[in-house]
A and B are shown apart, each in its own frame.
Chain A
Amino acid sequence: MSKIKFLKSHEWYNPESNTVGISDFAQRELGDIVFVELPQVGESVEAGEAFGNVESVKAVSEIYSPVSGTIIEINEELESAPELINQDANAAWMIKVEVSAVSEELISAEEYDALTKK
């Protein structure tokens, strides 16, 4: 059913829209997200490497890219309203990528759910 894939480090990748975000599990673990630091359009990302940061009140976490490629769009709305990630992590995409390769570490939504329910 769902085409969305996940990294074990809690990022999702939607192959239909080529967008990347963090999982609902991750936003719950982080708590209130108050700051998002995203790269710029035109920068390249590497699968498995950090491309930005999310900060909750208490801590900062790096966000890893599920894909390699060039960033063609960023969700600027998150910079002024980072709480959108808490409200709906699956809708709050962070970057849109012209993908050249996807990570080999990606797992299915079912596998990811099983992993985070432990």
Chain B
Amino acid sequence: MLRTPFYGKMLAAGAKMVEFTGYELPIQFESTGIIAEHKAVREKAGLFDVSHMGEIYLCGRDAFATIQNLITNDITTLKDGAARYTLLPNEDGGVVDDILVYRIHAEEYLLVVNAANTAKDAAWIEARLLGDTEFENASPATAQLALQGPLAIEIVKRFIPAADIPEKGYTFKTLSLNGEQLILSRTGYTGEDGFEFYSSNEFAEPLFELLMEHGKPLGMLPAGLGARDTLRLEAGMPLYGHEMNEETLCHELGLDFTIKMGKESFIGKKALLEKPPQYQRLGFKMVERGIARENCAVFDGERQIGHVTSGTHSPTLGQAIGMVRVEKDFNASTVWVEVRNRKLKAEIVPLPFYKKNK
């Protein structure tokens, strides 16, 4: 099993480790737990080891064209120092992955991909390079930390000069800190303001120490995968392997803002034009007592119309929530979810479940 460069530091901070996509990563911390870590991120800040994420660089005169062909979104309007969320479709209109594209400059891009998909994506992308495009899978050499929460900005300000801090969401800066080059990006997967740091493995421990030193006095907690999952679920964010996979059509996800059918051509465009969506992604809250988990069957009256793709207890709302994949034409406000052979009532609600105060 692989270990990230933060393994020792996280263990010393009391991490309970689990295997996740081949890495030993903290699920939660002994002295806190998922709910306390979740609340820290909503109210103050949390620090996550996300080094398992994959980083792929595409450079060269045709890197832009290569990416345009690979993604559903359109990066024509993407500026230097900005990032964009997109789906990576397959030829059938299914989802290879959901990723972030960072434009470093016109001929250099960073793609951040899901940990479980890094090898698959790397092979998929490398086989589809156009013209003058250089490919580099920098995942093994890259450490990544996510600092998330309303106080993240205050923590970052304590050791990074204002000029090096990206101001807006989905922007980033390349900066030098203690002689080390970093990418600091105003992104995350929690529904809060926050930052993601990309550094060399060698700089991982010093960076972690800096963040702990400046974050702890403000109430920042190290946080694990458990809180990461409840946070992203409350924020209505899909997770690859749960809300989507190779068989899920890109336009069945409620992510149409990432699909630019007006773009001249891209992989999967033809399939998406030909195939109408069969399913939709919806949010639900449990009405009856119980927690619906992934794969629970979902019924409209007597008829099964789909299944739960993610389900948990929401620490912010104090109730059970989740997402379902159900037939496209379903439009009632109540469903029945089968939990341990009992059908429990749930209410369809708009996503996200939680929106930060702005």
Contacts and interface: CB of A to CB of B under 8 A. Distances in A.
Given A31-B34, A32-B34, A32-B35, A57 B289 contact: no
A74 to B, nearest CB: 14
A57 B293 contact: no
B313 interface: yes
B75 interface: no
Contacts of B27: 58
Given A57-B312, A58-B27, A35 B35 contact: no
A79 B290 CA distance: 10
B312 A58 contact: yes
B286 to A, nearest CB: 10
A24 interface: no
A55 B33 contact: no
Nearest to A62: B340
B34 A35 contact: no
A34 interface: yes
A94 B293 CA distance: 23
Q: How large is the interface on A (under 10, 10 to 19, 20 to 34, 35 or more residues)?
A: 10 to 19
B196 interface: no
B137 interface: no
Contacts of A79: 289
Contact of B226 (A35, A37, A53, A57): A57
Given A34-B291, A35-B320, A58-B226, A53 B340 contact: yes
Interface string A67-100: 0000000000001000000000000000000000
A37 B290 contact: yes
B195 to A, nearest CB: 25
B15 to A, nearest CB: 13
B34 A58 contact: yes
B19 to A, nearest CB: 14
Contact of A31 (B226, B229, B293, B340): B226
Nearest to A34: B313
A55 B313 contact: yes
B142 interface: no
Nearest to A59: B293
Nearest to B28: A31
B290 A57 contact: no
Contacts of B166: none
A60 interface: yes
Given A57-B315, A58-B27, A35 B291 contact: yes
Nearest to A86: B33
B40 to A, nearest CB: 13
A12 to B, nearest CB: 22
Interface in A35-63: 35, 37, 53, 55-58, 60
Would you list the 6 A-B pairs with minimal beta carbon distance, nearest first? A34-B313, A57-B34, A32-B35, A32-B33, A31-B33, A58-B226
Interface of A: 31-32, 34-35, 37, 53, 55-58, 60, 79
27 contacts: A31-B28, A31-B33, A31-B34, A32-B33, A32-B34, A32-B35, A34-B35, A34-B313, A35-B290, A35-B291, A35-B313, A35-B320, A37-B290, A37-B340, A53-B340, A55-B291, A56-B34, A57-B34, A57-B35, A57-B312, A57-B313, A57-B315, A58-B27, A58-B34, A58-B226, A58-B312, A60-B293
